[in-house]
């Protein structure tokens, strides 16, 4: 199982902050995103090219491989400070 989190405007557009997904494959982060996009119209929010992804709380590239138990997060560009 992997844990997926969404933040800020992305969280609002998806209507959820987190979800757990059964997982036993060898998906890349990009492939996971493509799977999520098939879930319906709301999920197109993930398709923007400024959507960032973190794996286990570090920013990661689209070709990063996800392992079982990982924590993945999608979010818009940060605006703190």
Partner 1 sequence: MISIQHEDFDLNHEYLQLRDCNDGDGAIVTFSGLVRDYNADGSVSGLFLEHYPGMTEKSLMDICVQARAKWPLGQIRIIHRIGQLNANEQIVFVGVTSAHRAAAFSAAEFIMDYLKTQAPIWKQEHSAKGPKWVEAKDSDVTAANKW
Tell me which of 3, 5, 28, 37 binds partner 1, using CB under 8 A: 5
By C-beta, is 38 or 70 nearer to partner 1? 70
Residues ≥6 apart with Cβ < 8 Å to 16: 6
List 19, 21, 59, 65, residue binding partner 1 (CB under 8 A): 59
**Contact string (CB under 8 A) for partner 1, positions 62-81, x = contact:** -----------x-xxxxxxx
Phi, psi (degrees; rounded to nearest 5) at 80: -80, -170
User: Is the separation of the CB atoms in 75 and 54 below 8 Å?
Assistant: yes
């Amino acid at each position: 199982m992997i844990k997926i989190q969404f933040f800020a405007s992305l969280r609002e557009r998806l209507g959820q902050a987190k979800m757990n997904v059964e997982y036993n494959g060898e998906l890349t982060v990009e492939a996971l995103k493509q799977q999520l996009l098939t879930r319906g119209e709301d999920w197109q929010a993930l398709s923007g090219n400024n959507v960032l992804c973190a794996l286990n709380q570090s920013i990661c590239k689209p070709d990063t491989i996800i392992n079982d138990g990982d924590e993945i997060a999608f979010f818009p560009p940060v605006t703190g400070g």
